[in-house]
Structure formats: structure tokens, C-alpha cells
Amino acid sequence: MGRRPKVAASSPTLPKMRPALTPEAREGQMISLAMDLVEQRLRDGTASSQETTHFLKLATEKERTERKLAEKQLELMEAKRQQIQSQARIEELYTNALNAMKRYSGHDDEDEYVDDY
């Protein structure tokens, strides 16, 4: 029989997670576990300088401002996308309306009838 690895007395036992169904869910699980681990290290005072610095940077006003700016840029890009789609739809409606008026007034589309002389 093999030996069981030693577990630090201060480390809490983690609840069993059900297997992730998608790669995105698996990534989320791994991020959650990593965050839990770093949180425990910060509480124990054993976190590395890189881990500590990472969370200190997240707490700065500059980081919050950059996050807000990124969110606003995403909103702007989405608004532009919707505007382009709307403009294309309006152009289609105008074209359809003009064609309908031409047919109503008795002017047929010249492209519809091709005479083979």
C-alpha cells in the first residue's frame, strides 16, 4: 500500500466538485480553486510577493478606472454593431418600398423582363 500525502493541518478540506460539463466550466472551477488557495495563503501569511502584489493592484483606483473604461468600450462596440445592423435593415426597407411604388405606378423592373431578339 502506498503512503498518503501529508496535508497541512490548517488547510481546509475542500468539498468534492462534480465534474465540469464544458471546458469553460472546468476553467471556472480551476480559477475558483486557485482563488481559494491564494486567499488561504494570504490569510496564513504565506502568500508570495507576486500573489500579494496582484491583489494590491486590483484594489487601486487606476485598475477600477481601467475596468470601467473596458466595459464602456464593449458597450460602445455593441451599440455600433446594432447601429450597422439597423442601417442595413433600413436600407432594405427603403429598397423594398421603392420597388413596391414602382410596381404600383406601373413601372416594372427592367431586370425582370429580358427579351431575346
d(CA 37, CA 39): 5
Residue 4 domain-assigned (yes or no): no
Q: Are residues 55 and 78 in the same domain?
A: no
Residue 67 domain-assigned (yes or no): no
Q: What is the pLDDT of residue 18?
A: 85
Q: Are residues 55 and 77 in the same domain?
A: no
Q: What is the pLDDT of residue 1?
A: 45
Residue 41 domain-assigned (yes or no): yes
d(CA 94, CA 101): 10
Residue 5 domain-assigned (yes or no): no
pLDDT by 10s per residue, the chain, length 117: 455 444 454 555 666 878 888 999 999 888 888 889 999 999 999 999 999 898 888 889 998 999 999 999 999 999 999 999 999 999 999 999 999 998 888 876 555 555 555
Contact 63, 57 (CB under 8 A): yes
DSSP H helical segments within the chain, as ranges?
Answer: 23-44, 49-58, 61-104
Nearest partner of 46 among 21, 15, 11, judged by Cα: 11
Residue 37 domain-assigned (yes or no): yes
Nearest partner of 40 among 14, 77, 66, judged by Cα: 14
Cell of residue 75, nine digits: 458597450
Range of the domain at 86: 72-107
